[in-house]
Structure 1
Amino acid sequence: MRERISRELIGKKGFSFIAIEGDWPDAARMDHYVRHAQYPPSEWTAFARFPVWMWRNREVRDFVDWLRARNALVEAYKRVAFHGLDLYSLYNSIRSVLNYLDDIDPQTAQVARLRYGCLTPWQADPATYGHAALTGAYQTCEREVVSMLTDLMQKRGGYAEHDGERFLDAVQNARLVANAESYYRA
């Protein structure tokens, strides 16, 4: 049903992006695929933490393949995007920021590793980080993650000029890291 509705909204109403209640990094992989950037379907590992009925199913896969085929017929700037709205992908988002910076600015990638390293002990259970930070048993990582987001934004001119789509993805992931840190600490 949602596949048919989405096709109608794109085809008849001119919608230019799909926003799902899924993780930004997972949806970004789909977005790269549907807009012909990378990630062939055989490499899809997106939405692994979601139940099959939600995103990891044939209906979504068929829709994503349809969207890729449709996007192939239009100029790049007219291609329909595919984005996720969820803010819980702390470690996938960290990995995405680091991968981007490794390619664009390795020196800043090293800084990011140090800053995000504050969260490493809590990788398996970020809620435990929140408890430890609230009880004073562990210093918060707020300053580190906000500083990383600020640094990215201050360098946006050079980064975005190199590849605006990848920069948007990196900034959104850095924002997700900051939001997730705040969420788990609250």
Structure 2
Amino acid sequence: MWANKETEAFIDWARHFNANKGGAVRFYGLDIYSLFDSIDAVLTNLDKIKPPLAEKARAQYACFDPYGRDEQQYMNSLFEWPEGCKAQAIKVLHDLRRKHFEIRTEEDEDVVMDIVQNAKIAVGAEKYYRSVMFGKSPDSWNVRDTHMIDTLDMLLGHTPNKSGAIVWAHNTHIGDYRATSMMKEGTVNLGGLARERYGEDAVALVGFGTHRGSVIASNKWGGRVQKMTVPAAKEGTFDDLFHRITIAGSLPNQYYLVFRAVGTAEQKEEGKVVNLKELAKWRGQRAIGVVYTPSTERWGNYVPTQLSKRYDAFIFVDLSEALRPLAHLERYEDLTEIPESWPMGV
């Protein structure tokens, strides 16, 4: 998701801003797909600042060694050994929490935060893979998004001067789950949880849609990064509706609408609010994740949605263009000119 030139440009901007303006713009991840990388981060940092604690953690994390840094192997092992390494991952986190104040007073607070957070990720990732194998349909998703909101909570408490945060995620994570079919399925998400936890006036949820264009994704988890053609939106969906509005109104290729102004009274006054009953009706809205199959999307990629309740604002790009992968990516393939005939990805 982040290995693209657009993210690289933002990181360069943030680096120069921090150097020249004395700012503190930071860039963090929220997800839990880094079990073994997070274990490495815990051990590497502890080796530098608390070698005895590193050895204790290494002894616990050795439980994961037989799986060769392969999450799929670990998940498969749970059928024969259901207890897995859950207790060991939790033990490391508990030990770090007990020593947290002692370490924090001696070392850089950012380093300590990084150690503890990566230990939390190891616990969360283990719980996620366990829920994939043994949980009900929404359980693994809910583990991820609950971890995301808890991580955001931690970061907001860690930022100087009580700064805010801009969170970049797919629509399915950002748009309030209570205004989609996710609610009936028992699925929660980051955007809805943020509204519940911080209050609706403290959160602005911004959605994104397109009629057609291109996107970088993969046809399976861990697969090659591919530039794919996004076909014209399914008729009757919000993505199709905005395309027809764009054509009929001779609107520009990209624009945004505000459904609900948030913030202070002054900020609300400045916002131009669109209040259209049509946008509160139930329609499908396209969802494109890291795994995507354009040839079959019309049967499975549209989420029943009340758009003006799901988001506070909505950005629409009629003809969109894919992000540009970094040149060093070896597993990248441009398929925009190739028929979309690969197997379905989920």
TM-score, normalisation: structure 2: 0.36
> What displacement does 1:103 show?
0.8
Aligned 8 A contact 1:87 1:179 in 2 = yes
Q: Distance in 1 between matches of 2:25 and 2:102?
A: 26
Aligned 8 A contact 2:36 2:69 in 1 = no
Note closer, same or farther for the CA distance 1:137–1:156 as it changes in structure 2 (3 Å cut): closer
Note closer, same or farther for the CA distance 1:64–1:72 as it changes in structure 2 (3 Å cut): same
Structure 1 gaps, min length 5: 1-53
Pairing of 1:2-151 with structure 2 (within 5 A): 54-75=1-22, 78-133=23-78, 135-137=79-81, 139-151=83-95
What letter corresponds to residue 110 of structure 2 in structure 1?
E
Aligned 8 A contact 1:129 1:185 in 2 = no
> What displacement does 1:165 show?
0.3
What letter corresponds to residue 65 of structure 1 in structure 2?
D
What SS is found at the alignment partner of 1:84?
A: coil
More helix by share: 1
What SS is found at the alignment partner of 2:10?
A: helix
Aligned 8 A contact 1:142 1:178 in 2 = yes
Q: Distance in 1 between matches of 2:31 and 2:93?
A: 18
Q: Distance in 2 between matches of 1:98 and 1:123?
A: 17
> What displacement does 1:139 show?
4.3
What letter corresponds to residue 169 of structure 1 in structure 2?
D
What letter corresponds to residue 73 of structure 2 in structure 1?
T
What letter corresponds to residue 80 of structure 2 in structure 1?
G
Q: Distance in 2 between matches of 1:113 and 1:144?
A: 10
Q: Distance in 1 between matches of 2:33 and 2:47?
A: 23
What SS is found at the alignment partner of 1:81?
A: coil
Bigger mean CA deviation after superposition, 135-144 or 64-73: 135-144
More strand by share: 2
What letter corresponds to residue 94 of structure 2 in structure 1?
T
* Identical amino acids, percent of aligned pairs: 38
Q: For this pair of structures, how many residues does the alignment match?
A: 130
Matching residue of 1:156: 100
Aligned 8 A contact 1:94 1:116 in 2 = yes
What letter corresponds to residue 69 of structure 1 in structure 2?
H
> What displacement does 1:138 show?
6.2
Q: Output one character per residue of 1:101-133: Cα deviation in whole Å (capped at 9) or x when no partner.
A: 101110111111110010111234223322322
Aligned 8 A contact 2:93 2:119 in 1 = yes
TM-score, normalisation: structure 1: 0.65
Q: Output one character per residue of 1:132-179: Cα deviation in whole Å (capped at 9) or x when no partner.
A: 22x234641111110100111111112112111001111110000011
Aligned 8 A contact 1:97 1:174 in 2 = yes
> Residue 112 of structure 2 is aligned with which of 164, 167, 171?
167
Matching residue of 1:11: none
Q: Output one character per residue of 1:34-78: Cα deviation in whole Å (capped at 9) or x when no partner.
A: xxxxxxxxxxxxxxxxxxxx3212221111011011011344xx4
Note closer, same or farther for the CA distance 1:74–1:158 as it changes in structure 2 (3 Å cut): farther
Aligned 8 A contact 1:131 1:185 in 2 = no
Q: Distance in 2 between matches of 1:137 and 1:144?
A: 14
What SS is found at the alignment partner of 1:65?
A: helix
Aligned 8 A contact 1:112 1:148 in 2 = yes
What SS is found at the alignment partner of 1:83?
A: coil
What SS is found at the alignment partner of 2:102?
A: helix
Aligned 8 A contact 1:91 1:123 in 2 = no
CA RMSD of aligned residues (A): 1.5
Which structure is richer in relative contact order (CA contacts within 8 A, separation 6 or more)? 1
Aligned 8 A contact 1:67 1:80 in 2 = yes
Structure 1 moving runs of 4+ over 4 Å: none
